[in-house]
Amino acid sequence: MKIKVAPSILSADFSSLGKEIKKVELAGADIIHIDVMDGHFVPNITIGAVVVKSIRKVTKLPLDVHLMIENPGKFIDDFVAAGSDMITVHIEAMSSAKLKAQSAKLKKQGIKFGISLNPATPLSKIKNILNFVDFVLVMSVNPGFSGQKFKFEVLSKIRELRSIFNGDIAVDGGINDEIAKKAVFAGADILVAASCIFNSNDYKKTIRRLKNVR
């Protein structure tokens, strides 16, 4: 599987968000990762559908909306209407029955559906939902903030997941090129990265390095 890089805008300069997105697009990004937080599911508040709608106007890249919110089902329609291409929901925030229903609905709308799990959540929690999702987003930090340290214990989770799942496996949190290599070797093919891209002075070189870790 080809490695895809998904810059997470959480570490971008929000006063020039449009320009930052254009910059990572020109630098070779494959997906724009948008972290939506509500101050309840995670201890931080970020952005809502209105921002996704604006981002939609400045890029053709797929927008992956990572919902770190309570009651995500209530808001998915808004994020789809705003122009999301991929919706990621946490297993800790939605029941399997609701996830299955949501999956069917998004499929009809042509939206890719992903399930995410926190570092402490075992793989067994998502096994019965794997047939209903296009990708899995494995959290390698506790969600809430960019700039945290990668939790190496998730590597074995990625390895096990790769042995039972054929879709894309994204890894999110604490990625740099050294760690990306380990994550890709374990079976990940989408690298979500905020600080390592937006804090670098050459987005193109950083994204190229991430794509070439294999």
Residues annotated catalytic, as ranges? 35, 172
Contact 207, 1 (CB under 8 A): no
Rounded Cα distance, 175 and 182, in Å:
10
Interface with Zn ion by CB under 5 A: which range of 22-30, 77-85, 149-157, 167-175?
167-175
Looking only at residues 5 through 44 of this chain, which bind Zn ion when binding is defined by CB under 5 A? 35
Residue 23 contact among ligand DX5, Zn ion, none, beta carbon within 5 to 8 Å by kind: none
Interface with Zn ion (CB under 5 A), residue from 23, 66, 90, 157 = 66
With 0-12 / 13-18 / 19 or more C-beta atoms within 10 angstroms meaning exposed / middle / buried, residue 6 is: buried
Is residue 195 within the footprint of ligand DX5 (CB under 6 A)? yes
State which of positions 68-127 bind ligand DX5 (CB under 6 A): none
Q: How far is the CB of 182 from ligand DX5 (least distance, A)?
A: 15
- Least Å distance between CB 112 and ligand DX5? 17
Q: Is 179 in the site for ligand DX5 (CB under 6 A)?
A: no
Residue pair 17/9 in contact (Cβ under 8 Å)? The answer is yes
